């Protein structure tokens, strides 16, 4: 049984449908990501989980109980916000103690738990410090300490690292993941940053326009986006317009590209297939296209001309023209290639996703 279950949650603000029919399950001990562009409804979803916003319809179950109408303070969830939401007039101790005082814990227990929480976020002995004397990274650690001090049944993060600079963000990211693991907590982590979600989360739901488009392991989402919107949102992709020709060989379906007229065979499970002669989009990541000079009878070997080579440190981006079809490939070394060269671009069938265009 999942620890947290959202069932068909919807929420509207006047004319804005902020969240539309969102369903997802979070397992016990899971670090679960909600990833999507700004304005897609992530914060609203998280606030409904926290009990800070009431859904218009749908329900929320936690540990087998319906908590849809349970007040926030009785849910026992810890929350960490982007802007830290600390009390500037209180010192670190009082900020971390806040949730414990609200729960009427005895003073010795409060002192013990605050101390422990500050140690966990690597700010031991900071109790007396004023919050406004701390750096952004330290303030966010205090906010995390406050959230874990209550030993929350669920931790909710709303873009907690986005106000930190890059180095600190990556460092804090690693520590956060380690901390949540060590405490055996379950977390829901909201972010618009794909790299952050991929680095942190066990599973991710991709959200666009108030809806969840796809939920899965980071690698599956990246390599096999089920929809055009997911493919576009998750980094660079060659999006190739095509129509389906025939089932082709037993496990490969055959397509013809609209640009270039190439025949491309892809490996598909039957769940993904489009009808014959129907237009669709084939997606392949630049790093999955192989460039070779030899036509050694590989599947989906497309003759192409090198149009551009862009050196980008560890890799080079190579723009190819295949009879009117533009392809981008990433190569560790642009070994021996020059602009104007003829080559073969190989698109391995198992690396190609078939996207629904919706
Ligand atoms: P995200 O966190 O993904 O950026 P939000 O959940 O904050 O998205 O917002 C989703 C949509 O709902 C946006 O269009 C936003 O403007 C709108 N919205 C959010 N909160 C309110 C509110 N309290 N009143 C009116 N509109 C809101
Ligand atoms: Mg938000």
Q: Does domain 4-228 have CATH number 3.40.50.300?
A: yes
Alpha carbon of 32 to ligand 1 centroid (Å): 21
Q: What was the pLDDT predicted at 269?
A: 66
Q: Regarding predicted confidence, which is higher, 169 or 8?
A: 8
Cα distance between residue 89 and residue 303, in whole Å: 67
Alpha carbon of 38 to ligand 1 centroid (Å): 9
User: What sign does the dihedral 60-66-69-70 (CA atoms) show?
Assistant: negative
Q: What was the pLDDT predicted at 357?
A: 63
104: exposed, middle or buried (Cβ count in 10 Å: 0-12, 13-18, 19+): exposed
Taking the whole predicted model, whether its pTM rises above 0.85 is answered as no
Nearest alpha carbon, ligand 1 atom 22:
13
pLDDT grade for 249, boundaries at 50, 70 and 90: low
Q: What was the pLDDT predicted at 332?
A: 79
Q: What was the pLDDT predicted at 204?
A: 97
- Is the backbone of residue 105 left (phi > 0), alpha (psi -120 to 50) or beta? beta
Alpha carbon of 229 to ligand 1 centroid (Å): 20
- Is the backbone of residue 166 left (phi > 0), alpha (psi -120 to 50) or beta? alpha
- In this predicted structure, the answer to whether residue 112 has a pLDDT above a threshold of 80 is yes
Identify which of 12, 17, 18, 159 to mutate to test ligand 1's pocket (most ligand atoms within 8 A of the CB). 18
Nearest to 339 by CA among 312, 314, 311, 320: 320
- In this predicted structure, the answer to whether residue 305 has a pLDDT above a threshold of 90 is yes
Nearest alpha carbon, ligand 1 atom 14:
39
- In this predicted structure, the answer to whether residue 229 has a pLDDT above a threshold of 80 is yes
Identify which of 11, 35, 43 to mutate to test ligand 1's pocket (most ligand atoms within 8 A of the CB). 43
- In this predicted structure, the answer to whether residue 358 has a pLDDT above a threshold of 70 is no
Nearest alpha carbon, ligand 1 atom 24:
13
Q: What was the pLDDT predicted at 96?
A: 96
Tens of pLDDT, residue by residue over 257-283, are: 999 999 999 887 655 567 777 888 999
Tens of pLDDT, residue by residue over 322-331, are: 999 999 999 8
Nearest alpha carbon, ligand 1 atom 5:
41
Q: Do domains 4-228 and 236-355 have the same CATH topology?
A: no
Alpha carbon of 39 to ligand 1 centroid (Å): 6
Ligand nearest to the CA of 206: 1
Alpha carbon of 218 to ligand 2 centroid (Å): 21
Residues whose beta carbon lies within 6 Å of some atom of ligand 1: 13, 16, 18, 36, 38-44
Q: What was the pLDDT predicted at 5?
A: 98
> Which architecture does CATH list for 236-355?
Beta Barrel (2.40)
In the DSSP assignment, the letter for residue 227 is B
Average pLDDT of span 126-146: 92
Alpha carbon of 39 to ligand 2 centroid (Å): 7
- In this predicted structure, the answer to whether residue 335 has a pLDDT above a threshold of 70 is no
Tens of pLDDT, residue by residue over 24-58, are: 999 999 999 999 999 999 999 999 999 999 999 99
Q: What was the pLDDT predicted at 272?
A: 57
Alpha carbon of 82 to ligand 2 centroid (Å): 8
Nearest alpha carbon, ligand 1 atom 4:
39
Alpha carbon of 42 to ligand 2 centroid (Å): 6
Ligand 1 nearest atom to the CA of residue 53, by list position: 23
Domain residue extents for the chain: 4-228, 236-355
- In this predicted structure, the answer to whether residue 336 has a pLDDT above a threshold of 90 is no
Average pLDDT of span 196-207: 95
Identify which of 10, 12, 13, 158 to mutate to test ligand 1's pocket (most ligand atoms within 8 A of the CB). 13
Sheet holding 263-267, edge to edge: 263-267, 252-257, 238-246, 279-284, 353-355
Average pLDDT of span 231-252: 80
Q: What was the pLDDT predicted at 136?
A: 87
Nearest alpha carbon, ligand 1 atom 20:
44
Nearest alpha carbon, ligand 1 atom 2:
43
Q: What was the pLDDT predicted at 210?
A: 97
Q: Regarding predicted confidence, which is higher, 110 or 275?
A: 110
Average pLDDT of span 110-125: 93
Nearest to 290 by CA among 334, 346, 246, 239: 346
């Amino acid at each position: 049984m999942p620890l947290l279950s959202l069932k068909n949650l919807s929420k509207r603000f006047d004319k804005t449908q902020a969240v539309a029919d969102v369903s997802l399950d979070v397992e016990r001990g899971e670090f679960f990501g909600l990833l999507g562009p700004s304005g897609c409804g992530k914060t609203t979803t998280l606030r409904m989980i926290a009990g800070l916003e009431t859904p218009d319809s749908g329900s929320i179950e936690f540990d087998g109980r319906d908590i849809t109408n349970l007040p926030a303070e009785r849910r026992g969830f810890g929350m960490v916000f982007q802007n830290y939401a600390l009390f500037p007039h209180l010192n670190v101790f009082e900020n971390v103690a806040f949730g414990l005082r609200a729960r009427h814990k005895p003073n010795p227990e409060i002192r013990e738990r605050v101390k422990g929480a500050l140690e966990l976020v690597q700010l031991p002995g900071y109790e007396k410090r004023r919050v406004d004397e701390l750096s952004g990274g330290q303030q966010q650690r205090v906010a995390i300490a406050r959230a874990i001090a209550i030993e929350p049944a669920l931790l909710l993060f709303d873009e907690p690292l986005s106000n930190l600079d890059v180095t600190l963000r990556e460092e804090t990211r690693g520590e956060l993941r380690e901390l949540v693991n060590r405490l055996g907590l379950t977390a829901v982590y909201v972010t618009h940053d794909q790299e952050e979600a991929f680095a942190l989360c066990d599973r991710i739901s991709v959200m666009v326009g108030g809806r969840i488009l796809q939920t899965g392991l980071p690698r599956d989402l990246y390599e096999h986006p089920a929809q055009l919107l997911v493919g576009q949102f998750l980094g660079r992709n060659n999006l190739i317009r095509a129509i389906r020709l025939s089932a082709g060989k037993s496990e490969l379906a055959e397509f013809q590209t609209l640009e270039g007229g190439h025949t491309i065979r892809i490996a598909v499970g039957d769940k993904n297939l489009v009808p014959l002669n129907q237009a669709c989009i084939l997606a392949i990541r630049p790093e999955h296209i192989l460039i070779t000079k030899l036509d050694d009878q590989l599947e989906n070997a497309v003759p192409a001309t090198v149009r551009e080579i862009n050196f980008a440190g560890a890799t080079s981006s190579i723009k190819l023209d295949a009879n009117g079809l533009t392809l981008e490939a990433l190569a560790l070394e642009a070994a021996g290639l020059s602009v104007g060269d003829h080559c073969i671009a190989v698109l391995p069938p198992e690396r190609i996703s078939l996207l629904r265009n919706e």
